[in-house]
Structure 1
Amino acid sequence: MEFSSEPVVCVKNADIYQENQVVLNNIAFNIDKGEFAYLIGRTGSGKSSLLKTIYADLPLRSGEVEVAGINIMGIKRKQVPHLRRKIGIVFQDFQLFNDRSVTENLIFVMQATGWKESSKMKARLAEVLMRVGLGAVSSKMPHQLSGGEQQRVVIARALINEPSILIADEPTGNLDPKVSDDIFKLFLEINRSGTAVLMATHNHTFLTNYPARVLKCEAGKILDSEKEEFELTGYY
């Protein structure tokens, strides 16, 4: 396969909407392959809307957004599963099916993104659960797992298709500090293996203990720590 040095996310002159309100105006930034970046900002500043636009849950109305080589503008519904094979999404509130086992939750995603061969699905399922430290929970139901274990299942689900980037929206927001730190370190391990990570977070401890590039949503703009200095605190 030919190696590409193109950014995994490229945003140019984009307006980001929350319903009919512009929350981010004329923004531009790239996320490179294998990069780790934080996304911070006060509640309502546009963080989640930006992430949802990147993974095509919200429509892009103006500007350019390209993710893993796919142009988001005007993307058709039938093209979204192809995009989602290249993006892993980790939510704060897990969004697991509570009436299905861990295995069934992961198989649902596999089938939705085009997997067909049962033997390959089983092998990949076992592989991603081992990677997140959950080799023995495949038959359990979500309610039988701790919050940290549920989030590890969500991360396993996000890794199914070997994505170019993990997009995480407050992935430790519902977890206690010790579990949060363990989950964060798992993201770092995944990033070190070559997967880019864009993580929205309110956890200032991460920024202090694990410094990385920071994108801050503020007053309708994106501030980039690689280009300018700004205050990291006070973004709640």
Structure 2
Amino acid sequence: MVFSSEPVVRLDKACVFQGITAILQDVSFDIDKDEFVFLIGRTGSGKSSLLKTLYADLPLKMGYGKIVGYDLQKIKTKEVPFLRRKLGIVFQDFQLFTDRTVAENLYFVMRATGWKDKSKMKTRMVEVLMRVGLGGAATKMPHQLSGGEQQRVVIARALLNHPSILLADEPTGNLDPEVADGIFKLFQEINKQGTAVLMATHNHDLLNKYPYRILKCEKGKLLDSKTSEIVT
């Protein structure tokens, strides 16, 4: 007997709204638990709005959406923090507390997501920093790190709660090409260890170099390279 696992993300005829404006319509796609998927499109085409809908920062008003077991139309406000514990969210602009050390930035997220045991918190903090290649950075302030190192801290932060999927919004957008390539390879390693990745990007070098599936926001629709010929 063959058992099929449920996709980590499923949208079916979903509409993505900003306020009362529909940005994307009739959006349907699945992402499996070990997939790596690029999300592309022009500025303003709906990439960030789609990601915000997936982590429940924007409500799903029409259609069906489910991510890591949560129904996005039915999710209650009090459930959103529990949803986000099962996601890893990586922003382009880091969003680190500049007046706190790297360790304090990570501890803040752990406390906010229900961690209590200080020993376990320290162990996990060390684990994720080692995983992103920053084992010696715990006591440093963000301004003491390069842009690439700060993005690695953000990725470490996203990994704290063992997420099923990473949602990354232009994670290499502010980095030079060599540093960006290193960050991308880190996402690849994380993906190979079983975490799905949905990465919004404008980086055509990555798209040309790595033949992953592509979702493209264009003219209010979402095209999927699994079923469409996509010109990047």
TM tier relative to shorter chain = over 0.9
After superposition, what is the alpha-carbon deviation per residue over 1:61-97, rounded to whole angstroms, capped at 9, x for unaligned?
1111111111111422221111011100000000001
After superposition, what is the alpha-carbon deviation per residue over 1:98-129, rounded to whole angstroms, capped at 9, x for unaligned?
11110111011111111111111000000000
In 2 relative to 1, CA 54–168 (structure 1 residues): closer, same or farther, beyond 3 Å? same
SS at match of 1:161: coil
Q: Tell me which residue corresponds to 2:200.
A: 200
- Give yes or no for contact 1:59–1:74 (8 Å, CA) kept in 2: no
User: 2:208 aligned with 1:216, yes or no?
Assistant: no
SS at match of 2:13: strand
After superposition, what is the alpha-carbon deviation per residue over 1:120-161, rounded to whole angstroms, capped at 9, x for unaligned?
100000000000000001011111110000000000000001
What are the within-5 Å matches in structure 2 for residues 104-123 of structure 1?
Answer: 104-123=104-123
Separation in structure 1 between the aligned mates of residue 64 and residue 110 of structure 2, nearest angstrom: 29
Separation in structure 1 between the aligned mates of residue 109 and residue 28 of structure 2, nearest angstrom: 31
After superposition, what is the alpha-carbon deviation per residue over 1:160-197, rounded to whole angstroms, capped at 9, x for unaligned?
01100000000011111110000000000000000000
Aligned length: 230
- Tell me the percent identity: 68
Q: Tell me which residue corresponds to 1:7.
A: 7
- Give yes or no for contact 1:32–1:196 (8 Å, CA) kept in 2: yes
User: 2:31 aligned with 1:31, yes or no?
Assistant: yes
Task: Report the alpha carbon displacement of residue 229 of structure 1 after superposing the two structures with TM.
Answer: 0.6
AA aligned to 2:204 is: H
Q: Tell me which residue corresponds to 1:173.
A: 173
- Give yes or no for contact 1:18–1:49 (8 Å, CA) kept in 2: yes
After superposition, what is the alpha-carbon deviation per residue over 1:32-60, rounded to whole angstroms, capped at 9, x for unaligned?
01100000001111000000000011111
Q: Tell me which residue corresponds to 2:183.
A: 183
- Give yes or no for contact 1:18–1:46 (8 Å, CA) kept in 2: no
Q: Tell me which residue corresponds to 1:157.
A: 157
Q: Tell me which residue corresponds to 2:67.
A: 67
- Give yes or no for contact 1:15–1:61 (8 Å, CA) kept in 2: yes
Q: Which runs of 5+ in 2 are unaligned?
A: none
AA aligned to 1:149 is: E
CA RMSD of aligned residues (A): 1.0
SS at match of 2:230: coil
AA aligned to 2:19 is: E
Task: Report the alpha carbon displacement of residue 4 of structure 1 after superposing the two structures with TM.
Answer: 6.7
Q: Tell me which residue corresponds to 2:136.
A: 136
SS at match of 2:99: coil
User: 2:75 aligned with 1:83, yes or no?
Assistant: no
Q: Tell me which residue corresponds to 2:19.
A: 19
Q: Tell me which residue corresponds to 1:231.
A: 231
Q: Tell me which residue corresponds to 2:45.
A: 45
Separation in structure 1 between the aligned mates of residue 171 and residue 23 of structure 2, nearest angstrom: 22
- Give yes or no for contact 1:129–1:156 (8 Å, CA) kept in 2: yes
Task: Report the alpha carbon displacement of residue 19 of structure 1 after superposing the two structures with TM.
Answer: 2.5
AA aligned to 1:161 is: N
Separation in structure 1 between the aligned mates of residue 177 and residue 103 of structure 2, nearest angstrom: 28
> Normalising to structure 1: TM-score of the pair?
0.95
Separation in structure 1 between the aligned mates of residue 4 and residue 167 of structure 2, nearest angstrom: 20
AA aligned to 1:166 is: L
SS at match of 1:137: coil
> Normalising to structure 2: TM-score of the pair?
0.97
Q: Which runs of 5+ in 1 are unaligned?
A: none
